[in-house]
A and B are shown apart, each in its own frame.
Chain A
Amino acid sequence: MLEYILKRFGQSFLVLFIMSILVFAGVNLVGDPVEMLINPEADQAEVERVIRELGLDKPVSEQYWYFLTNALKGDLGSSFIYNEPALKLILQRMPATLELALFSLFISLIIAIPLGIYAGYKPNSKASKTIMAGSILGFSMPTFWVGIIFIMFFAVYLGWLPSTGRGEIGSFLGIESSLFTLNGLSHVFLPALNLALFKISSVIRLTRAGTREIILQDYITFARAKGLSEKRIVLVHILKNILIPIVTVIGLEFGSLIAFSTVTETVFAWPGMGKLIIDSIYNLDRPVIVAYLMIIVTFFVFLNLAVDILYTFLDPRVRLKGMNQ
């Protein structure tokens, strides 16, 4: 068990190491690093000073070492645009992204789980077929386009909800978030629904598949034979048993919500990390791009690691397989 976890840790660091090489290569070898890393408005003396400071006159292997040791110290360079450390900029915007992703996860679960159970419980009914066709439509719809439609319809045409930005920030139990004010909620609703759309489709399919498997189990037949009401069977016996696979998948899906939030944040001008990276790419703000990529990859590697370790506790078969390797 411990050996398995250590192995997975080792593997995670290897992935991070390879990613750092890739990102470093992308920035330093493909283009001209001087052009990319130094503010284009700098004069010749400034350029030479920065070249020496960044060690660009040194061999590539030494440069990489320099980049790596600085990154480990938390120094990922400073933004050209904001003149602030890139790491700080990203951490400042992280709460907005996390709040958007959490809220949309919440929306997708409360919509998708009931629909999925229904579609699995009565697979041949008209409503179930509509739900399933809807779910195919749901993940065929390009997120950014749906976002535009939401803005045009709910914000411009009906004028019900604000179309851009993050609302007032409230504080609750020491946590600051716009989810705690009414104004904040009205701002987060449209982007969160937009981001949730794709997830709704996949959670519906997952829940339906789980439900269909479970209703064939003996304990459901037994519960029916005992004369339990259908309501109790669905709410207790089925719901409880499909939650385990759903919860584990959601752990991973949360990561993909954060990745996809780049799109939603751009459409709704939501001031999160995703919008920051897209803006930085436009502005060629390389230090921020590098910092974002390193942070998001680290985040994913450890999210995956956490889910894998959680799995070994939930499912003994994974544990045993890991030991045999």
Chain B
Amino acid sequence: MSSRDQNFKNFWRDFSVNKIAVIALFIFLSILFVAIFAPLVSPTDPYDLNSVSIMNSRMPPMSEDFAGNLYVLGTDGAGRDMLSAIFYGLRVSLGVGVLSGVFALIIGSIFGISAAFFKGKYETIIMRIVDIQLSFPSILVALIILAAFGKGVEKTIIALILVQWAYYARTARASALVEINKEYIDSARCLAFSNTRIMFKHILPNCLAPLIVVGTLQTAHAISLEATLSFLGLGLPITEPSLGLLIGNGFEYMYSGDFWISIFPGIALLITVASINLVGDHLRDMFNPRLQ
């Protein structure tokens, strides 16, 4: 058995102690599956104008149209099947959340590790910027960016990256500071490896555990923030209907009692965010030696 298999076994042994986290992981993986294969698992294509009929608008859950199609979660104001719209919405929400998380992780790690590595004025400036940014609530940072530069897919992703990078930078620097004083870094320096190689081939892999923890929790936060911004009409345009936009869609029908239009996308969002948070919370406990 290779050492990688062994590592994974050890990891799984520690992870599976918490049954709730295992269930949460399973739920998240199912959501991920549905999101990736949305066109295959959805009963209908909610954005295919040929199959959507306004005649079927605002039908309650479990109702059938004249053609005998069943709408398990009902339909929205335009006659789209809610279940399919949610599957497609998950795709957009997860896509934006994960994409911005990955970029923020990369940018944050580069700044955090290089700050710890080069020290001096460079480190002071980077960490000051991080401190100042973290003193503002994330929604305010996103609001400032989107209010000043307008809405759109790229702008939302950029706003989410700018909101998150500071968390990664702080975490990366903290763990890099510990690693830098270890002997293997000294030996790498003695071998005259380039700075870039030491930073990203030697230090980075050893800082990954805390970065992954921050990554899971931040991704959950990013998904939730994107939904909020899209609901407010500042995030994604209506051409990219994420869960936040679906909920906002149902907001109009709130007073007429058509609860399903905004409740079901909200439940999907809640389950997604909560399952990621539960996994992240457990990972944090696992990697935190003080709690063991």
Contacts and interface: CB of A to CB of B under 8 A. Distances in A.
Given A140-B270, A145-B270, A281-B234, A27 B148 contact: yes
Give the interface size bracket for A toward B: 35 or more
Given A263-B139, A278-B233, A293 B281 contact: no
Contacts of B278: 136
B227 interface: yes
B97 to A, nearest CB: 13
B137 A259 contact: yes
Contacts of A300: 135-136, 140
The residue among B139, B140, B149, B278 with the most chain A CB atoms within 10 A of its own CB is B140
A156 B254 contact: yes
Interface of A: 11, 15, 19, 22-23, 25-27, 30-31, 133, 136-137, 139-145, 148-149, 151-152, 156-157, 163, 252, 255-256, 259-260, 262-263, 266-267, 277-278, 281-282, 289, 292-293, 296-297, 300, 304
B149 A30 contact: yes
Interface in B129-167: 132, 135-137, 139-140, 143-144, 146-150
Pick the 4 closest A-B CB pairs, nearest first.
A26-B148, A140-B274, A145-B266, A256-B137
A263 B228 contact: yes
A145 B148 contact: no
Chain B: interface secondary structure? Answer: helix
B238 interface: no
A64 to B, nearest CB: 15
A136 B270 contact: no
Contact of B266 (A136, A142, A163, A277): A142
A278 B149 CA distance: 14
Contacts of A137: 270, 274
A140 B149 contact: no
A140 B148 contact: no
A145 B277 contact: no
A145 B269 contact: yes
B270 A141 contact: yes
B118 interface: no
Contacts of B188: none
A285 B261 CA distance: 31
Interface of B: 20, 128, 132, 135-137, 139-140, 143-144, 146-150, 220, 224, 227-228, 231-234, 244, 247, 250-251, 254-255, 257, 259, 262-263, 266, 269-270, 273-274, 277-278, 281
A260 B137 contact: yes
Nearest to A278: B232
A296 B234 CA distance: 18
B148 A30 contact: yes
A259 B140 CA distance: 6
Contacts of A297: 136, 144
Contacts of A259: 136-137, 139-140, 143
Contact of A145 (B136, B137, B247): B247
Contacts of B139: 256, 259-260, 262-263
A52 B185 CA distance: 61
B194 to A, nearest CB: 32
Contact of A144 (B143, B231, B277): B231
Contact of A149 (B147, B224, B263, B273): B263
B69 to A, nearest CB: 27
Given A140-B220, A260-B137, A263-B139, A293 B144 contact: yes
Contacts of B233: 278, 281-282
A149 B266 contact: yes
A80 B47 CA distance: 37
A200 B173 CA distance: 31
